[in-house]
């Protein structure tokens, strides 16, 4: 299938665009013809992603962005418009890392930080982007949630709670802005092999061993597999898809057991 021009004429603003999944999404959307604007707390990483997109023949620009800061969110939307003249797609990827802990041990500051970045950040980006998506005649909002917004895990209340809420925010966005021809969907990845996720268990090799078996497909996912879903949700191929959560999780959420080649069921989770 030739997807080279599936997203021609689109302009996508991607938060967390300097991270691994953000970068994979940027490369994929650009390869399909979209211009991409990368925003990241780490401006140098956003610039690096933009450079990779342009080296591959795509159109990109980059800006330092803190999604926890309303004025920075507003400025990033203005920057996207000044870069490419319109906005058709918003991809909220940015999320912060919070240390493990329970409600007893976590500070209120850490809890508030998770809410500010993972949830309010998406709210703010949507707030400033929606008028321009509407002006473009409609568009697509894609929120990167998590399998852990479906199945909670111990010691990660801030992350799991904010991702579950992001899935729900997406459903309401879809309802509120369907009349504007704006579709809103979330993606819930399974364990995706990135530096951020692997650090938690001591590196990518360990993460493969430990987290692979938690999926029916017996392996972690790759950032490019999330990017493929994002490209689908940005494209007209998903023109009748809104208010949904797309699990790209190798079966993590579906089933807590997995059949080994020997026919034994291994319980995971």
How far is residue 101's CA from residue 87's CA, in Å, rounded to a whole number? 39
CB nearer ligand NAD, residue 22 or residue 136: 22
CB nearer ligand NAD, residue 104 or residue 109: 109
Q: Based on the shown chain and the rule CB under 6 A, indicate whether residue 189 belongs to the binding site for ligand NAD.
A: yes
Q: Based on the shown chain and the rule CB under 6 A, indicate whether residue 67 belongs to the binding site for ligand NAD.
A: yes
Among 27, 63, 126, 144, binds ligand NAD (CB under 6 A): 144
CB nearer ligand NAD, residue 138 or residue 244: 244
**By rule CB under 6 A, what string of x and - marks binding of each residue 102-141 to ligand NAD?**
---------------x------------------------
How far is residue 159's CA from residue 162's CA, in Å, rounded to a whole number? 5
Residue 44 burial (C-beta neighbours within 10 Å; 0-12, 13-18, 19+):
exposed
Q: Based on the shown chain and the rule CB under 6 A, indicate whether residue 194 belongs to the binding site for ligand NAD.
A: yes
Q: Which residue is catalytic, options 159, 191, 232, 252?
A: 159
How far is residue 174's CA from residue 177's CA, in Å, rounded to a whole number? 6
> Residue of minimal CB distance from ligand NAD?
19
Q: Based on the shown chain and the rule CB under 6 A, indicate whether residue 164 belongs to the binding site for ligand NAD.
A: no
Alpha helices in the chain (DSSP H): 20-31, 43-55, 70-84, 108-114, 121-135, 157-177, 195-199, 204-211, 223-234
How far is residue 35's CA from residue 100's CA, in Å, rounded to a whole number? 37
Among 21, 98, 119, 173, binds ligand NAD (CB under 6 A): 21
How far is residue 238's CA from residue 152's CA, in Å, rounded to a whole number? 29
Q: Based on the shown chain and the rule CB under 6 A, indicate whether residue 146 belongs to the binding site for ligand NAD.
A: yes
Q: Which 27-56 residues touch ligand NAD, going by CB under 6 A?
A: 40-42, 45
CB nearer ligand NAD, residue 85 or residue 269: 269
Q: Based on the shown chain and the rule CB under 6 A, indicate whether residue 19 belongs to the binding site for ligand NAD.
A: yes
Strand partners, 257: 267
* Whether residue 252 lies in the annotated active site: no
Strand partners, 246: 187
Contact 146, 188 (CB under 8 A): yes
Other C-beta atoms closer than 10 Å to the C-beta of 151 total 16
Q: Which residues are catalytic?
A: 159
Q: Which residues bind ligand NAD (CB under 6 A)?
A: 15-16, 18-22, 40-42, 45, 65-68, 93-96, 117, 144, 146, 189, 191-192, 194, 196-197
């Amino acid at each position: 299938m030739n997807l080279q021009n599936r997203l021609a004429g689109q302009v996508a603003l991607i938060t967390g665009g300097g991270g691994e999944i953000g970068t994979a999404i940027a490369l994929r959307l650009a390869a399909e013809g979209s211009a991409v604007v990368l925003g990241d707390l780490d401006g140098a990483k956003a610039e690096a992603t933009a450079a990779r997109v342009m080296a591959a023949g795509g159109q990109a620009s980059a800006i330092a962005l803190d999604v926890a800061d309303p004025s920075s969110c507003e400025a990033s939307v203005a920057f996207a418009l000044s870069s490419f003249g319109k906005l058709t797609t918003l991809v909220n990827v940015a999320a912060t890392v919070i240390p493990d802990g329970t409600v007893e041990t976590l500070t209120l500051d850490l809890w508030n930080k998770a809410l500010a970045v993972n949830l309010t950040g998406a709210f703010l980006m949507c707030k400033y982007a929606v008028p321009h998506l509407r002006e473009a005649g409609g568009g697509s909002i894609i929120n990167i949630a998590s399998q852990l917004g479906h199945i909670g895990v111990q010691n990660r209340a801030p992350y799991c709670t904010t991702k579950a809420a992001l899935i729900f925010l997406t459903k309401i966005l879809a309802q509120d802005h369907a009349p504007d021809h704006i579709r809103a969907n979330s993606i819930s990845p399974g364990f995706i092999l990135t530096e951020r996720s692997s650090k938690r268990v001591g590196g990518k090799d360990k993460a493969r061993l430990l987290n692979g078996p938690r999926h029916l497909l017996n392996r972690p996912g790759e950032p490019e597999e999330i990017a493929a879903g994002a490209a689908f949700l940005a494209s007209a191929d998903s023109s009748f898809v809104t208010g949904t959560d797309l699990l790209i999780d190798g079966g993590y959420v579906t089933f807590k057991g997995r059949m080994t080649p020997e026919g034994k069921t291994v319980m995971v989770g």
